[in-house]
Amino acid sequence: MDRRASKTVDRLDSQTVPQRLSAWRFITTFGVISMFADIVYEGARSITGPLLASLGATAFVVGVVTGIGEAAALALRLVSGPLTDRTRMFWSWTIAGYALTVITVPFLGMASVLWVAATLVIAERVGKAVRSPAKDTLLSHATSVTGRGKGFAVHEAMDQVGAVTGPLVVAGMLTVTQGNYLPTFAVLAIPGAAALALLFWLRRRVPHPERYEDAGHVHGAPAVRQKLGLPVRFWLYAGFSGITVSGFATFGVLSFHMVQQGVLAPATVPLVYAVAMAAAAVSALFSGWTYDRIGPKTLVVLPIIGAIVPMLAFTDSLPGIVLGALLWGTAVGIQESTLRAVVADLVPSARRATAYGVYAAVLGTATAIGGALTGYLYGVSIPMLIAVVGVIQLVALIAAAPTVLRHNDQV
């Protein structure tokens, strides 16, 4: 058998050999991986500010470092997405991104100078940018079997378990060690190692997740170099999503209000965040199941929630602030699960990593705009903040008509 015939047989074998894991097992295993990784980096992010401050950073420096990190996570996805589609090395990009995150975070406890800690903080965000388009594409193949909404929802719910656990682990370690960062960050190496070990195991068990989905291409075939050709309806949907998210305040602004108004002590703010993340897990499951039943119309609730959040969160009432934070977490759950599911239904598999990279850039930009806008308006007038956010969400509802509503039966 000549070399060309051998390669053809290998390709056919890669398509016909059944998967070792069901689609649901693939998704839930990936959910456990994401949960362990979230314990690592969400735990670190919950204490990044105080850590940098302990090394001599001012509030401005903390803002610059974290801002550069988020900017890197945003800009690099525009590169990693198309490169992932072009190389088709989805597992390699995923593993590299997770490795960069879980390896850099534990070293934060050993950093004794500011520039080293700042570099590690930014490197963690770069890891997120490297893996996200590839990871979401791998998941999209399995969710074609389980239902896009349900699949992404279950993964996100498990992911949020880590987002709740990580900050609690860090808070507990800092209490036990009397504020010693070295053992606190060292403990995070344990879930990090577990995430990498499970990721390598999953790759061995399911080397070709594209077999879950009839992707219309042969695995191992050279990728065709092409321009960024994403469907028009994807761009319309990205526009709707961007408008909606630009009307949301960040949790940083919400927590600033909690402490500034004397409603909550700083030490209790992480508890509110943990509860909000629990709400995100529940909403991800609910919206995911609903999406599989009625389609993108599910997302109409997102701008409605966005308009209500500031009405509650920026009051002087503890119940109102907590309820506002819960609704904010509910919106996060929808954004992190169902919004991603729609992208998988709108874009063919061959361009999906590119789409996820672009979509993440749109949402990242919108999030930055929302945080800056609400932060500025908070200092000017809270009633004005509420009014402006209401107008933005009204525009988002109007934008929903030719996007999530019109294409409901086409997705």
Average pLDDT, the chain: 82
267 plus 157 within the same structural domain: no
Q: Within a domain: residue 370?
A: yes
311 plus 359 within the same structural domain: yes
How confident is the model at residue 69, as a pLDDT? 74
How confident is the model at residue 404, as a pLDDT? 67
199 plus 305 within the same structural domain: no
Grade residue 15 by pLDDT with cuts at 50, 70 and 90: very low
27 plus 150 within the same structural domain: yes
Grade residue 16 by pLDDT with cuts at 50, 70 and 90: very low
191 plus 241 within the same structural domain: no
* Both structure tokens of 66: 């974290």
Q: What is the mean pLDDT of residues 159-187?
A: 88
Q: Within a domain: residue 323?
A: yes
How confident is the model at residue 67, as a pLDDT? 62
CA–CA separation, 386 and 183 (whole Å): 43
Task: Residue 257: give its domain's CATH number.
Answer: 1.20.1250.20
Q: Within a domain: residue 211?
A: no
Q: How far is CA 92 from CA 78, 95, 200, 345, in A?
A: 17, 5, 10, 24
How confident is the model at residue 225, as a pLDDT? 43
Look-up of token digits 């997705």? 411
How confident is the model at residue 266, as a pLDDT? 62
DSSP 360-385: HHHHHHHHHHHHHHHHHHHHH-HHHH
Of 255 and 308, more confident: 308
Q: With 80 as the cut, is the pLDDT of residue 12 above it?
A: no
145 plus 287 within the same structural domain: no
CA–CA separation, 109 and 192 (whole Å): 15
Tens digit of each residue's pLDDT (9 = 90 or more) over 239-248: 999 999 888 8
Tens digit of each residue's pLDDT (9 = 90 or more) over 357-400: 888 888 878 877 887 888 888 888 889 999 999 999 999 988 88
Q: Within a domain: residue 214?
A: no
Q: Within a domain: residue 219?
A: no
Q: With 50 as the cut, is the pLDDT of residue 220 above it?
A: no
Residue 130 CB-half CA count within 13 A = 18
Q: How far is CA 252 from CA 364, 369, 409, in A?
A: 15, 13, 38
Q: With 90 as the cut, is the pLDDT of residue 222 above it?
A: no
98 plus 240 within the same structural domain: no
CA–CA separation, 155 and 187 (whole Å): 24
Tens digit of each residue's pLDDT (9 = 90 or more) over 299-349: 888 999 999 999 998 888 889 989 998 999 899 888 888 888 888 888 888
Of 181 and 271, more confident: 181
Tens digit of each residue's pLDDT (9 = 90 or more) over 58-106: 756 775 677 677 667 777 888 888 899 889 899 999 999 999 999 999 9
How confident is the model at residue 56, as a pLDDT? 84
194 plus 53 within the same structural domain: yes
For residues 179 and 67, the answer to whether their CB atoms sit within 8 Å is: no
Q: Cα-Cα-Cα-Cα dihedral of 347, 350, 355, 358, to 10°?
A: -160
Q: With 70 as the cut, is the pLDDT of residue 226 above it?
A: no
- How much of the chain, in percent, has pLDDT values that exceed 70? 86
156 plus 253 within the same structural domain: no
189 plus 260 within the same structural domain: no
pTM above 0.85, yes or no: no
385 plus 238 within the same structural domain: yes
Q: Within a domain: residue 57?
A: yes
Tens digit of each residue's pLDDT (9 = 90 or more) over 188-219: 999 999 999 999 999 999 999 988 886 444 33
Q: With 80 as the cut, is the pLDDT of residue 7 above it?
A: no
Range of the domain at 249: 232-405
CA–CA separation, 366 and 245 (whole Å): 6
CA–CA separation, 397 and 389 (whole Å): 12
Q: Within a domain: residue 69?
A: yes
Number of domains composing the chain: 2
How confident is the model at residue 340, as a pLDDT? 81
Q: With 60 as the cut, is the pLDDT of residue 297 above it?
A: yes
Of 219 and 112, more confident: 112
How confident is the model at residue 267, as a pLDDT? 60
Q: Within a domain: residue 16?
A: no
CA–CA separation, 100 and 184 (whole Å): 19
194 plus 289 within the same structural domain: no
Cα Rg for the chain, rounded, in angstroms?
A: 21
